[in-house]
Structure 1
């Protein structure tokens, strides 16, 4: 592989980064939407070599179980179709995900685009031979009926037990106390893909099940003529695991650092949530377990926030608003529709919770493998290898295996890839790729300013969580550096993952450049009761730090009231 950046026109077969694959010829439309929260940064080769194909296969497995897949959908010569990597950045195949809108009874492509990809400028869907498939539609109809009657998901509990068992098999030492060998640790890493595939298939099935049942719910809300109540109906459902770390951090923020309870509480927090953190799906990233100072900084950012803004208080208000909205919609529906509405609402709550719970299980299993990789890295570093752990993840699994034997022989390759990684990290990957990956020299710099707003301007996005708030814009590009974010501020972020969640509680409202109705920022803000608008294109560069803005989480609008 040539690891130098080629600034000439890049065709579909050219690799820019070690993890790249060409776009699909049959399903050519891709987006960074949604997956940009899972892999916000350049994907490291060790991670993708270990779980990339397993993720693709797990996704297909979930779609087969749901009934979406038709004969001939996937070509044997395109092993990576639903997930792909271009220029180091992960993409979802929008062409194929749109089939859920085409083949599901009552579905439509526009809803799928809005649900998963937000306000992107994706080209309009054009129907092709084979897109509609009666057999797939019948299977999906049966799936929707099954989902609407779901009362419990015991498989989630079983997966959690399996993940705990997998973590317990971590080869820290042999029976006589001798440290585990390199080979034992490598074998542990190599054993992960089949298990990851099964966990990931469950996560994808829960995610798209949520989309199907919430689609049924949305149809009934529309039928009642109460579209404006949808955001309230989806808020404050409770027991959403993505919000749990922030809630635990809030409790710790009420304690002083010199309180003996603080240290015990923080140790318990790391034990429970240590696998979470920035870019947590990538094995080369450091979670709170490895860098507890990140969690401490987030907790400290919450300290100035008044007690009456606790997540519990927020959620009480959300529950009251949701109950009122549900009652209003039910009163506008006929008896049979009310019955269907109740089933759709119950199922939406179950699968919204399931989506986040299955993600938590996957992340816990990934962290067990991350621990093994770190142990191997430290041994190689002591023998002359690179000191930064993420750099050792610039090698694929086979190269990493050879690196453990002779670390110094791989230093040049690692540093070449580190330089390329640095270059790609300064660029903003195209949000949409259609058939051909645009040349690198056409990608925008991540530092490129957008047009700056003026007083009175209104930026439009997608409603995330209801509520109206005013505050000073605090543009934060790194959750580890909240730049003094506190009460009275509106958090403006490029994209969010769980490492951002604690900052929500320190803000009056949240604005995110990208996202959709199933994005992390929306899910968490609805649980914490923070007004939120996502898919506000270029917000981090268009809105100056310190500007006074009004955020309307009901309509998805952001109004500039005063410039700094």
Structure 2
């Protein structure tokens, strides 16, 4: 019977708060896990009966690899870097602040900007006797020296090639038994491909590269500020053309142009995105048709980018491979964009601007050889590590997607047998419980329903952005539909963090779900709660982007930078305060949004 393998059947995903590192934030991690984590994800990534798990361990590995800490500084039994409260994932900002104390040329304020963006209620830093550590500072300095001289990230490219081979030789899950699939999923997550590279190792690489990517960006910001041109910082890191999370936009753009040039395809898309993949498939049966050519190109797109999707780190959530209509909905919006929205054309202009600005800045620093060398080294490191950060993230997501495909084969079998009612039901189980359900489904539907009810309650509530010490009990969190925000009127402004420079005007379109972008028209300003790569195609036709949360290395800033879109992040309450359809002006230089007309 259910419950024999665990003390209780309730939805119990939570971690113990850290006494040594008591500051937690939803900043940054909210883009990775916008929703509460599912039971199965908590089981493999955060903590289970065997102790702390892969995501937490990866954070420790990354910080130790950089030299900021040693493993013995962390609690061996409880999560330190990642906390889960009320089902929501939190990142430990106190540990990040210690990195700011120990790292040369970095301070707590710099770390806070990267962690929090511009958010209210952030407590000031309070020092601890163990924060400063000269040995750690020396280790970090050595890491930084390597950072500024590394011409490439060969380990990242090696992982990418192995993942491509893994996708090409995907296991035949249909031929596996139920227990065999369940075991394969855990084996894959823990050991992955040749050499024992599993999720922990891939995620640690992503975190290490992400931490280091902030360093050259910070140096460029310091140099630009020193010469009175702080607004040029992001222009100096734009138009790289090798940003993995922006790459699907190029492919989608070409697919969108196919649709725009074909009356047959246009008619199919005009009937709406729901069921579009089925209609395209039926039309593609006619040899030589535009639908056939499109379907062939779209099939290649799904193969190349199918691991992307909303909440793509969560195994139970659909991706462009498991639900192609999600990708087609984005292409549907992109087909309406004018030709000058071509992301490759935009990027070419940004590349020229970056190269000219870089040359001018270097010449301006000629009288100060030390500052000039620092600037040029930072430029080179940024060109390696900023695109590298997105590449490592893509590697992780592609790796996770293989488990998603496997779990859906198993899930469909369980649905066919009546053991569960929907594909996401297995995500409410720990992996050990999944084996129990396979053997005997009796009673598990009640357990799943109970946990789903708790999960749904968490989804309905607004989690705190910052937690200090103990988290307030979830029943005290306000329900989202009961939160009243004062709507902005004509002439009102809302402040945030400048994400990408430039000024644009357009109609505000509040889009809360990247899978349903039908209201977004070319030239509109995309106003979103947060963004992950599934939102990227929606940027292409927009005139600007505004996001409720975000910080210096947020996805929305990275993609806006590659497309040259004015962007403001950390615009607290933007999706609730900016009236849908209002004419607004987005100033990416100052981080302000002005309502011009309601």
Structure-1-length-normalised TM-score: 0.93
Of 468, 478, 488, which aligns to 1:453? Answer: 488
Aligned counterparts, 1:231-250, within 5 A: 231-250=234-253
Q: Distance in 2 between matches of 1:321 and 1:553?
A: 17
Q: CA deviation at 1:71?
A: 6.6
Aligned-pair distance for 1:327? Answer: 3.0
- 1:289 aligned partner: 321
Q: 2:427 corresponds to which residue?
A: 393
- 1:551 paired with 2:586, answer yes
Change beyond 3 A, Cα 1:71–1:370: closer
Is 188-197 or 470-479 further displaced after alignment? 188-197
Change (3 A) 1:82 1:16: farther
- CA separation in 2, counterparts of 1:479 and 1:391? 23
In the other structure, the counterpart of 2:140 is 140
Query: Hey, what's the Cα distance between the residues in 2 that align with 1:51 and 1:22?
Result: 15
User: Is 2:182–2:434's contact at 8 Å kept on the other side of the alignment?
Assistant: no
Deviation at 1:246, TM superposition (A): 1.4
Equivalent residue number for residue 130 of structure 2: 130
Structure 2 residue 320 is the aligned partner of structure 1 residue 320 = no
1:7 corresponding residue in structure 2: none
Structure-1 separation of matches of 2:356 and 2:124: 37
Are positions 1:152 and 2:152 aligned together?
Answer: yes
Structure 2 stretches lacking a partner, 5+ long: 47-52, 192-197, 260-264, 266-288
Query: Would the alpha carbon gap of residues 532 and 81 (structure 1) be closer, same or farther in structure 2, given more than 3 Å must change?
Result: same
2:574 matches 1:542 = no
Provide the secondary structure at the position in 1 that maps to 2:377: helix
- Report the counterpart of residue 118 of structure 1 in structure 2: 117
Q: CA deviation at 1:168?
A: 5.8
Task: Tell me, in whole angstroms, the C-alpha distance in 1 between the residues paired with 2:9 and 2:63.
Answer: 28
Question: Could you tell me which residue of structure 2 aligns to residue 19 of structure 1?
Answer: 13
Deviates more, 1:420-429 or 1:383-392: 383-392
CA–CA distance in 2 between the matches of 1:279 and 1:408? 31
**Alpha carbons of structure 1 residues 15 and 132: separation in structure 2 relative to 1, 3 Å:** farther
Matches within 5 A, 1:3-82: 17-52=11-46, 53-70=53-70, 72-78=72-78, 80-82=79-81
Q: Secondary structure at the match of 1:98?
A: helix
How far apart, in 2, do the equivalents of 1:352 and 1:116 lie?
16
Show CA shifts across 1:300-359 (max 9, x none): 111121101111222123223323332342233222321221111110121011111111
Looking at structure 1, the residues matched to 207 and 579 of structure 2 have their Cα atoms a distance apart, in angstroms, of: 37
| Distance apart, 1:293 and its partner CA | 0.5
3-state SS, counterpart of residue 558 of structure 1: strand
Structure 2 distance, partners of 1:531, 1:317, is 15
Cα deviation, 1:474-524, whole Å, max 9, x if unaligned, reads 111111111421123111000111111111112111100000110010111
Q: Tell me, in whole angstroms, the C-alpha distance in 1 between the residues paired with 2:122 and 2:9.
A: 24
* Pairwise CA distance, 1:408: 3.5
Contact in 2 for aligned 1:240/1:353 (Cα 8 Å):
yes
Q: 1:300 to 1:489 in 2, by over 3 A?
A: same
Match of 2:452 in 1: 418
SS in structure 1 at match of 2:546: strand
Q: CA deviation at 1:185?
A: 1.2
How many angstroms apart in 1 are the aligned matches of 2:345 and 2:104?
39
Question: Which one of 344, 348, 363 corresponds to residue 382 of structure 2?
Answer: 348
SS at structure 2 position matched to 1:96: helix
Cα deviations by residue, 1:424-482 (Å, 9 ceiling, x for unpaired): 11112111011111122332333323111121112111111122100111111111111
1:524 equivalent to 2:559? Answer: yes
CA contact (8 A) 1:171 1:180 kept: no
CA change 1:269–1:451 in 2 (3 A) is: same
Q: Which residue of 2 aligns with 1:185?
A: 181
- Equivalenced residue count is 546
- Contact 1:311 / 1:529 at 8 angstroms: preserved in 2? no
Which structure 2 residues correspond to residues 203-282 of structure 1 after superposition, within 5 A? 203-256=206-259, 257=265, 259=290, 260-282=292-314
CA contact (8 A) 1:456 1:559 kept: yes
Give the SS at the match of 1:255: helix
Distance in 2 (alpha carbons) for counterparts of 1:51 and 1:330? 45
1:212-259 deviations in Å (ceiling 9; x for gaps):
222222222233332121121122222000001111111100012262
Structure 1 residues 16 and 535, CA, compared in 2 at 3 Å: closer, same or farther? Answer: farther
For the aligned residue pairs, the C-alpha RMSD in angstroms reads 1.9
Where 1:198 maps in the other structure, the secondary structure is helix
- Measure, in 2, the Cα distance between the counterparts of 1:408 and 1:381: 14
Cα 1:16/1:346, change in 2 over 3 Å? farther
Q: 1:60 deviation in Å? A: 0.7
TM-score in terms of structure 2 length: 0.88
